[in-house]
Amino acid sequence: MPKNSLILAGVLSCIFGFVVGLSRAETEGNSAAPPGNAIDQAVAKPFRVESIRGKVVWYAEGLKSQFGITTVDEAADRVLAVATPDGELIPIVEDLRGRAFRSDERLREMDVELRVRRYAGTPAVQIVRVYEWRDGKKFQVDYWCDVCAIIMFETGPCSCCQDHNRLRQRPVESP
Protein backbone atom coordinates (compact mmCIF):
# COMPACT_ATOMS: atom_id res chain seq x y z
CA MET A 1 0.00 0.00 0.00
CA PRO A 2 1.41 3.47 -0.87
CA LYS A 3 2.65 5.64 2.01
CA ASN A 4 -0.05 8.31 1.46
CA SER A 5 -2.79 5.67 1.66
CA LEU A 6 -1.43 4.43 4.99
CA ILE A 7 -1.36 7.95 6.38
CA LEU A 8 -4.92 8.62 5.19
CA ALA A 9 -6.12 5.32 6.68
CA GLY A 10 -4.52 6.25 10.02
CA VAL A 11 -6.09 9.71 10.06
CA LEU A 12 -9.54 8.33 9.19
CA SER A 13 -9.21 5.71 11.91
CA CYS A 14 -8.38 8.40 14.49
CA ILE A 15 -11.33 10.56 13.41
CA PHE A 16 -13.72 7.58 13.53
CA GLY A 17 -12.50 6.65 17.01
CA PHE A 18 -12.92 10.24 18.21
CA VAL A 19 -16.49 10.52 16.87
CA VAL A 20 -17.50 7.16 18.36
CA GLY A 21 -15.98 8.19 21.69
CA LEU A 22 -17.91 11.47 21.72
CA SER A 23 -21.16 9.67 20.93
CA ARG A 24 -20.61 7.18 23.74
CA ALA A 25 -19.59 9.89 26.21
CA GLU A 26 -22.89 11.73 25.83
CA THR A 27 -25.08 8.68 26.42
CA GLU A 28 -27.66 9.06 29.20
CA GLY A 29 -26.58 7.54 32.49
CA ASN A 30 -23.13 6.73 31.19
CA SER A 31 -20.69 6.13 33.99
CA ALA A 32 -17.65 5.98 31.72
CA ALA A 33 -14.85 8.40 32.37
CA PRO A 34 -15.05 11.76 30.65
CA PRO A 35 -12.24 12.57 28.23
CA GLY A 36 -9.11 13.44 30.14
CA ASN A 37 -5.93 12.03 31.52
CA ALA A 38 -5.44 8.65 33.18
CA ILE A 39 -6.07 10.09 36.65
CA ASP A 40 -9.48 11.47 35.53
CA GLN A 41 -10.40 8.07 34.12
CA ALA A 42 -9.28 6.22 37.25
CA VAL A 43 -11.55 8.25 39.55
CA ALA A 44 -14.57 8.73 37.25
CA LYS A 45 -17.92 8.65 39.02
CA PRO A 46 -21.40 7.98 37.65
CA PHE A 47 -23.20 11.02 36.30
CA ARG A 48 -26.53 11.96 34.81
CA VAL A 49 -26.96 14.00 31.64
CA GLU A 50 -29.39 16.91 31.62
CA SER A 51 -30.09 20.21 29.89
CA ILE A 52 -29.82 23.59 31.59
CA ARG A 53 -31.09 26.88 30.12
CA GLY A 54 -29.77 30.28 31.03
CA LYS A 55 -26.92 32.65 30.51
CA VAL A 56 -23.27 31.98 31.34
CA VAL A 57 -21.83 34.61 33.68
CA TRP A 58 -18.85 35.07 35.92
CA TYR A 59 -19.75 33.39 39.21
CA ALA A 60 -18.75 36.44 41.29
CA GLU A 61 -20.98 38.66 39.12
CA GLY A 62 -23.86 36.22 39.54
CA LEU A 63 -23.41 36.07 43.30
CA LYS A 64 -23.55 39.86 43.49
CA SER A 65 -26.50 40.40 41.15
CA GLN A 66 -28.66 37.49 42.38
CA PHE A 67 -27.79 37.31 46.07
CA GLY A 68 -26.05 40.58 46.98
CA ILE A 69 -22.84 38.71 47.87
CA THR A 70 -19.68 40.72 47.25
CA THR A 71 -16.43 38.87 46.51
CA VAL A 72 -12.83 40.04 46.48
CA ASP A 73 -11.69 41.78 43.28
CA GLU A 74 -9.47 38.92 42.12
CA ALA A 75 -12.49 36.54 42.08
CA ALA A 76 -14.19 38.58 39.33
CA ASP A 77 -13.15 36.41 36.40
CA ARG A 78 -12.10 33.13 37.98
CA VAL A 79 -15.15 30.85 37.79
CA LEU A 80 -17.95 30.65 35.23
CA ALA A 81 -21.54 29.70 36.08
CA VAL A 82 -24.94 29.28 34.45
CA ALA A 83 -27.52 31.76 35.74
CA THR A 84 -30.88 30.05 35.18
CA PRO A 85 -34.18 31.93 34.72
CA ASP A 86 -35.41 30.57 38.09
CA GLY A 87 -32.47 32.18 39.94
CA GLU A 88 -30.15 29.18 40.31
CA LEU A 89 -26.41 29.77 39.86
CA ILE A 90 -24.61 26.61 38.70
CA PRO A 91 -20.78 26.55 38.51
CA ILE A 92 -19.21 25.22 35.30
CA VAL A 93 -16.23 22.85 35.19
CA GLU A 94 -13.65 24.66 33.11
CA ASP A 95 -12.43 21.93 30.79
CA LEU A 96 -12.08 22.36 27.03
CA ARG A 97 -15.76 23.17 26.45
CA GLY A 98 -16.17 25.20 29.61
CA ARG A 99 -13.11 27.30 28.78
CA ALA A 100 -14.78 28.42 25.53
CA PHE A 101 -17.00 30.73 27.61
CA ARG A 102 -13.91 32.35 29.11
CA SER A 103 -12.11 32.89 25.81
CA ASP A 104 -15.09 33.99 23.68
CA GLU A 105 -17.22 36.76 25.12
CA ARG A 106 -19.87 36.20 22.42
CA LEU A 107 -20.87 32.95 24.14
CA ARG A 108 -21.57 34.79 27.40
CA GLU A 109 -24.01 37.07 25.55
CA MET A 110 -26.16 34.15 24.33
CA ASP A 111 -29.30 32.61 25.80
CA VAL A 112 -27.91 29.08 25.99
CA GLU A 113 -29.08 25.56 26.57
CA LEU A 114 -26.22 23.46 27.84
CA ARG A 115 -26.24 19.67 27.70
CA VAL A 116 -24.26 18.82 30.82
CA ARG A 117 -23.04 16.01 33.00
CA ARG A 118 -24.02 16.37 36.64
CA TYR A 119 -22.05 14.35 39.17
CA ALA A 120 -23.29 13.53 42.66
CA GLY A 121 -21.40 15.41 45.34
CA THR A 122 -20.60 18.59 43.40
CA PRO A 123 -22.73 21.54 42.34
CA ALA A 124 -20.55 22.06 39.24
CA VAL A 125 -21.58 20.72 35.84
CA GLN A 126 -19.46 19.61 32.89
CA ILE A 127 -20.55 20.87 29.45
CA VAL A 128 -21.13 18.24 26.77
CA ARG A 129 -22.87 20.35 24.11
CA VAL A 130 -23.77 24.02 23.61
CA TYR A 131 -26.95 25.38 22.01
CA GLU A 132 -28.14 28.94 21.53
CA TRP A 133 -31.80 29.97 21.62
CA ARG A 134 -32.50 32.92 19.32
CA ASP A 135 -35.89 34.13 18.07
CA GLY A 136 -37.55 30.95 19.35
CA LYS A 137 -35.14 28.72 17.40
CA LYS A 138 -32.40 26.41 18.66
CA PHE A 139 -28.88 26.43 17.17
CA GLN A 140 -26.00 24.08 17.91
CA VAL A 141 -22.85 26.08 18.64
CA ASP A 142 -19.26 25.05 17.99
CA TYR A 143 -16.18 26.27 16.12
CA TRP A 144 -15.30 25.26 12.58
CA CYS A 145 -12.24 25.33 10.37
CA ASP A 146 -13.27 26.03 6.77
CA VAL A 147 -9.91 24.78 5.49
CA CYS A 148 -9.77 21.40 7.27
CA ALA A 149 -13.50 20.86 7.95
CA ILE A 150 -12.80 20.13 11.62
CA ILE A 151 -15.09 20.86 14.58
CA MET A 152 -13.44 22.47 17.61
CA PHE A 153 -14.86 23.48 20.97
CA GLU A 154 -13.21 26.85 21.52
CA THR A 155 -12.07 29.82 19.49
CA GLY A 156 -8.50 29.94 18.23
CA PRO A 157 -6.21 28.36 15.68
CA CYS A 158 -7.23 25.13 13.96
CA SER A 159 -5.57 22.12 15.54
CA CYS A 160 -4.57 20.98 12.05
CA CYS A 161 -3.68 23.92 9.75
CA GLN A 162 -3.37 26.63 12.45
CA ASP A 163 -5.70 28.94 10.49
CA HIS A 164 -8.21 30.73 12.74
CA ASN A 165 -11.50 28.88 13.22
CA ARG A 166 -14.92 30.54 13.23
CA LEU A 167 -17.95 30.41 15.51
CA ARG A 168 -20.55 28.21 13.84
CA GLN A 169 -24.25 28.09 14.67
CA ARG A 170 -26.32 25.41 12.95
CA PRO A 171 -30.12 25.25 13.26
CA VAL A 172 -31.42 22.24 15.16
CA GLU A 173 -34.44 20.76 13.43
CA SER A 174 -37.37 20.13 15.75
CA PRO A 175 -38.81 16.59 15.70
**In this predicted model, what pLDDT tens digit does every residue of 114-142 receive, in sequence order?**
999 999 999 999 999 999 999 999 999 99
Which residue from 146, 150, 67, 143 is spatially nearest to 107, judged by alpha carbons? 143
Print the domain residue range for 15. Answer: 1-28
Q: Domain check: are 2 and 57 in the same one?
A: no
Q: Domain check: are 79 and 121 in the same one?
A: yes
pLDDT category at 36 given cuts 50, 70, 90 is low
Q: Domain check: are 24 and 43 in the same one?
A: no
Give how many domains the chain has, as a whole number: 2
Residue-level pLDDT at 40: 59
Residue-level pLDDT at 45: 77
Model confidence pTM above 0.85: no
Instruction: Using the predicted structure, report yes or no on whether residue 15 has a pLDDT greater than 90.
Output: no
Q: Domain check: are 83 and 134 in the same one?
A: yes
CA 80 to chain centre: 12
C-alpha dist (Å) from residue 37 to 49, 70, 96, 116: 21, 35, 13, 20
The predicted-structure confidence for 67-82, as pLDDT tens digits, reads as follows: 999 999 999 999 999 9
Q: Domain check: are 110 and 75 in the same one?
A: yes
Which residues lie closer than 8 Å to 164 by C-beta, 6 or more apart?
156, 157, 158
pLDDT category at 173 given cuts 50, 70, 90 is confident
